[in-house]
Structure 1
Amino acid sequence: MTLVRSNSVLLWLVALGFFMQTLDATIVNTALPAMALALGESPLRMQSVIVSYSLTMALVIPASGWVADRFGTRRVYLTAITLFVLGSLLCAIAASLNQLVLARIVQGCGGALLLPVGRLAVLRAFPREQFLKAMSFVTLPGLVGPLIGPTLGGWMVEYASWHWIFLVNVPVGVLGLLATLRHMRDAEPIPSRRFDGLGYGMLAFAMVAVSMALEGHALLGAIGSAALLGAGVASLLAYWWHAPRRPDPLFAPTLFAVRSLRIGLLGNLFSRLGGSCIPFLIPLVLQVCLGFSPMQAGMMMLPTVIASMTVKRVASALIGRWGYRRTLVGNTLLLALMIASFALVSPDQPQWLRILQLLVFGATNSMQFTAMNTVTLKDLEAHHASSGTSLLSMVQMLAMGLGVGIAGAVLAGFHGLWGQARPEDVLHAFQATFVCMGVLTLFSATVFARLERGS
């Protein structure tokens, strides 16, 4: 079935938003060691640059659906691009890690509105039977970002300065602003509803508390982390008590009556914990332990992105043939195995084997994301579209931040356990971290097994 021709420009515009976000996410990973050197920080403790961005997105996303309904998708999309470009400029002129983290928060505010509002525009513009194909089209051009991001970031670090990796967002953002003004139209007006500020505060506190606790912040200690984790869980439980008693909750309890949504959200959370840490860990271990230059480390990520783009082209056909349940359970097992297999990294590992690992990981990770996202949203009714897409985006970004934060904490823990006397001890810490994150990913297979047979 072909996509509606009049909406083709919308798809390219939303894809441009995906491109901006994915370019920024991947270009930063390769530059972390150079940033650490310039800012006087340890390269093993730079995850705050990534976590601050992802966590900010997770915090702002729950409000994005209400904001889009209240002010219109076009106006919000324009605001999102503006904030994203402004945050990029602030990142480029940052002179300390704290300044960089604050700038990433501004950038995250823009990204938080950019992604879910773009997906919402696609969901409202296309009928349900065309949604999978439309989203596959949108995400494919968006993968150009990670295709050039790692290599471009490495090249800029080697031949210019890490500050320039953020400036590449400026011309792309200007192009997006002009295209939005010309081609994006607001959806039909939706009656405004009151914003559930108390519920939002509960969810926001829960996400920040759990993230900081699991990241193992040095200022908290073991007791402080445990207390903060308990407070975060308590805040989340308080929200579930609060929501049914509100006429206008942030996420209506009836939303979770959709079985595929419940399973998809939980599976997204645990699956992305492992998958999201690999773009953070691989460039780091290649530069810190194997002596790769930033550009070499960036080029090593190309097999992952090429495989990901290739699978995106056939993902919908494969899911249609095998079904969501069989695809997700089998693919999750393979994804967990591939994450753990990166423990084989060493100076003696053949280059062809390293490339093969990255190819298979990219293919399985791409299939996982496509299947998880579509199974989560496919059964939503029109009146749940706004809150459902916001909830999915929130879970995705929270999981990405948690994945990097947990991986950083595990890495620091193993590094502290084995000490710093020998260079190979740092490599052993990376190897153990890969195994732990692979095992963590396995849990999501049991979640996806709860999907209906034949679905």
Structure 2
Amino acid sequence: MYRKHAALLFTVGLLCALEYLQAGMIAFANAPIRGEIEASPEEFSLVAALYACIAVVVISKQHWLTERLGWRNFMLGSISVFVLGALVCGVSADLTSFTVGRVIMALGGASFMTSARLMINLIPPGPGRFTGIKVFATGLAGGTAAAPFISSWVVAENTWHAIFWILIVGALVAAALCVRFLPTSPIPEEDRTPSSLASILLLSVSSFFLLYILQRSYYDFYNDTFIIVGCALLAALGMYTFFHAEHNKAKPFLKVRDLMQPRYLQGVALFCYAYVVLGANNYILPYFLQTGLGYSWDTIGTFQAIGLTGTLATWVIMATLLPKHPAPKKFFILGFIALGGFGWLLSSLTPSANMWSNILPALILNGCFVMLVMSTAAMQTFRDVMQEEKLFAHAYQIKNMMGQIAMAIGTTAATLFLQWRTTMQYNNLNVHFSASDPLYVEQTQQLAQALSSEVGATTANQISVAMHAQMLQQQSTLVASMEYFWVVIGVAVIALIISVTQKTFR
């Protein structure tokens, strides 16, 4: 069985790993890449919004395209476009070429994860499909864990373009494997899903508008709060209109009406929760470790990678337990406990915290949360829709479309929270950094005296003031980040209570 489907299984794991690898590497290395292509944070956020918007539309069209092109042609076309985009990014030296490359990558690669999961259904029902799910989850865990390590390594070696060469190699291997096993025949015309240009246009405009507003809120939210909230609600209304229209159609592009089932709706809500937390944590952790605790970029990447191997270890244990103990509730409970433990361990750190004993255990728990909740949700959410291939495909497409938006919401929420609390803490601490505070004056003078013999009295005073200003920023970030981790504890406790009391996933 395994040998017969070896190429398919390897492709499933590789495509899933590539999806999480490209997203994780570019998110982790966004600051160094911005510097290399001379892009402002606002400009780079537009690139991210474009990618996510295109991803939503491409994911929505995945099944529609495979019906018309056949699996092999669709995957070879997608991989070819992805490779072209990665090649453009790999040789880019400015914002324009990098943006073009990312747009092309989205057109080709945004559906990799969706395609990988749907490929598993090419295996006949039975134990082979569960093996496919295990390989899929292993690819997810492997890509998630490897992303920060690889991106920190290539940035430290001053070769950030290598990110895209790695992706190209992986994609070409996947293309070679697809030629071996994927069917070539398209679906008969009478069985194909219909599509509407107006619906796709509405989805494209609404998703881009929503994602762009979320990205812009990083910089304008506190100055233009009402405008941004109003625009976001308008974009959300556009998204709702798209799904409402599909719900009412006799022959819909996405079978929304057939998916209005409690298990599926609660499962998608759970996925969105997990994606929001994942997006927020992915933003906060590198910033907290670098600005708040002063660790170098390559150290942060290495330890985040080590911590995220917790996802792989957790999946190995889960895969062993699932055949005999498949009930999902215990995995959800353990996942939310792990999330709460992650927040608890990081909620009371000091600048002298040790990476191995104080931070790494929290990073491991974060990886455990991701795997326990998301993999269990994946196995439970689609249980009632797996009998019909098209319905399952649409269900998975919608889940991944919502995941793109939920990740953006999580990043936005974390950014705004950190800006707000850092400013508040900075103002609270800044009152002590003045000439009227005896302790501040004493410490500034002591530091200046220690440096004056090396650089002179005037320069020593300037350095002393600058070092205290840097310390103020570090302390503000540290305290604000710890407040964020208390929020994480709160949302973990709420999710834990809901998980214990709910009756859908038992």
Distance of 1:413 and 1:79 partners within structure 2: 45
Match of 2:87 in 1: 89
Structure number with higher relative contact order (C-alpha < 8 Å, ≥ 6 residues apart): 1
Amino acid at match of 2:411: V
1:203–1:11 CA distance, 2 compared to 1 (3 A):
same
CA contact (8 A) 1:270 1:440 kept: no
Distance of 1:374 and 1:18 partners within structure 2: 16
Amino acid at match of 1:199: S
Distance of 2:60 and 2:158 partners within structure 1: 38
- SS in structure 1 of the partner of residue 236 of structure 2: helix
CA contact (8 A) 2:42 2:219 kept: no
For residues 401-441 of structure 1, give each alpha carbon's deviation from its aligned partner in whole angstroms, at most 9, with x where no partner exists: 32223322333333444559522223333333344455456
Distance of 2:493 and 2:11 partners within structure 1: 36
Q: CA deviation at 1:248?
A: 2.1
Report which stretch shifted further, 381-390 or 95-104: 95-104
Match of 1:431 in 2: 482
Match of 1:408 in 2: 415
Distance of 1:303 and 1:91 partners within structure 2: 28
Match of 2:219 in 1: 218
CA contact (8 A) 1:44 1:412 kept: no
* Identity in percent: 16
Say whether residues 1:148 and 2:146 are aligned partners: yes
Q: CA deviation at 1:450?
A: 7.2
Distance of 2:186 and 2:81 partners within structure 1: 25
Match of 1:228 in 2: 231
Residue of structure 2 aligned with 1:279, choices 275, 279, 282: 282
Match of 1:289 in 2: 292
Distance of 1:231 and 1:169 partners within structure 2: 36
Amino acid at match of 1:302: A
Count matched residues.
453
Say whether residues 1:196 and 2:196 are aligned partners: yes
Report which stretch shifted further, 267-276 or 21-30: 21-30
Match of 1:342 in 2: 346
Match of 2:165 in 1: 167
1:237–1:360 CA distance, 2 compared to 1 (3 A):
closer
CA contact (8 A) 1:13 1:180 kept: yes
CA contact (8 A) 1:92 1:163 kept: yes
1:428–1:258 CA distance, 2 compared to 1 (3 A):
same
Note the residue ranges of structure 1 that are not aligned, 5 or more in a row.
none
TM-score, normalising length: structure 2: 0.79
CA contact (8 A) 2:49 2:212 kept: no
Amino acid at match of 2:64: W
Amino acid at match of 2:360: I
Distance of 2:317 and 2:86 partners within structure 1: 34
Match of 1:312 in 2: 315
CA contact (8 A) 2:141 2:371 kept: no
Match of 1:59 in 2: 57
For residues 160-196 of structure 1, give each alpha carbon's deviation from its aligned partner in whole angstroms, at most 9, with x where no partner exists: 3322222221222222222212232247725223213
- SS in structure 1 of the partner of residue 4 of structure 2: helix
Say whether residues 1:378 and 2:383 are aligned partners: yes
Q: CA deviation at 1:265?
A: 0.5
TM-score, normalising length: structure 1: 0.87
Say whether residues 1:355 and 2:360 are aligned partners: yes
- SS in structure 2 of the partner of residue 189 of structure 1: coil
Note the residue ranges of structure 2 that are not aligned, 5 or more in a row.
428-468
Match of 2:69 in 1: 71
Distance of 1:385 and 1:292 partners within structure 2: 45
CA contact (8 A) 1:136 1:370 kept: no
1:52–1:240 CA distance, 2 compared to 1 (3 A):
closer
Report which stretch shifted further, 299-308 or 189-198: 189-198
CA contact (8 A) 1:60 1:112 kept: yes
Amino acid at match of 1:155: W
Distance of 1:132 and 1:9 partners within structure 2: 16
Distance of 2:366 and 2:244 partners within structure 1: 40
Amino acid at match of 1:397: Q
Distance of 1:242 and 1:27 partners within structure 2: 37
Distance of 1:311 and 1:187 partners within structure 2: 39
1:55–1:450 CA distance, 2 compared to 1 (3 A):
farther
1:239–1:34 CA distance, 2 compared to 1 (3 A):
closer
